[in-house]
Chain A
Amino acid sequence: MKATIAILGLALIAGGAISAPITFDFKDPKGVNNIVFKTDAPLESINGTGNGISGTVAFDPQNPAATAGKIVLQTSSLHVGNPMMKEHLHGGMWMDVKKYPEISFELGSLKNVKTAGDVTTADALGKLTMKGVTREITTPVKITFLKDKLKARSMKAGDLLVLRSSFTVKRSDYGINASQGEDKVSNDIEISLSVAGSAPRDS
């Protein structure tokens, strides 16, 4: 009887170890992680990028629905090709990077989770905070778990997790120069996120 309990206990511990979530760090020294944003107004179309990404996500390959975490973008990393436009973008009327240095998305839960192999698609429900305003949003997300692929990237044993998402937000919802007309900068901002996190482990 004692032996059976011990075996069951070991099995539970082993099972727990296998299905324990892995924490991925999204700080990216290679500068690959990025967001692309686009506004398409009648008079002007503006494309920009941002690459100051950090954050952590806990992902369980056995239970992708339990994924949780937070992705943060340094607002000062937002970039457009025209220097004056970039100055305006960083200024008080628009993103006010001094007062609001971060944009963050905190994942609350995943719905409509579908997993095929290493790829999981779902609708991510979470809180997007921009310019001091937090709103609940739902965005489609594609999660790719790359087991043991970290070594190919950084010579350390471990896994990689790739997150991709595209969604649209209204700048008026976040108080981003809401008084500015939509002829030059549309109210809808299209955002595409492509980020990879790493989880090194002792080999």
Chain B
Amino acid sequence: MRLRQGLRWLALAIVLCAAGYWLAAGANRGWTKTTRDRIEKDPITEITFPVRENHFSPGIDVVAGAFFVAGVLAISSLFASRKNNT
């Protein structure tokens, strides 16, 4: 019983943490990015150009992965429950 509940709480925590992290990091609806471009302007030529920076921006793949792991844990909890009951 304790294992079943533990797995479910863990699944919920993973979903909430992943969703919260994704929202807090800017809710990037594309794929995860490890760099971002800061746009600067050359004062002489007036060319705008990207300056690359290392920056981790979780995308929907991170959220989907977290939901998948949470789903596996939640389903596992059902089997744990059966084992405990028999």
Contact = CB atoms under 8 A, between A and B. Distances in A.
A195 interface: yes
A57 B49 CA distance: 21
Contact of B50 (A45, A49, A162): A49
A146 interface: yes
Given A44-B30, A81-B35, A85-B31, A146 B44 contact: yes
Contacts of B44: 146, 149, 152-153, 160, 196
A160 B45 contact: yes
A34 B50 contact: yes
A79 B36 CA distance: 10
19 contacts: A30-B42, A32-B47, A33-B49, A49-B37, A51-B50, A79-B52, A81-B36, A81-B37, A81-B57, A82-B32, A82-B59, A144-B45, A146-B44, A146-B45, A149-B45, A152-B44, A160-B44, A162-B46, A162-B47
Given A82-B30, A153-B44, A194-B49, 15 more contacts: A30-B42, A32-B47, A34-B49, A34-B50, A49-B50, A51-B50, A79-B35, A81-B33, A81-B36, A81-B37, A81-B57, A83-B34, A84-B31, A152-B44, A153-B45
Interface of B: 30-37, 42, 44-52, 57, 59
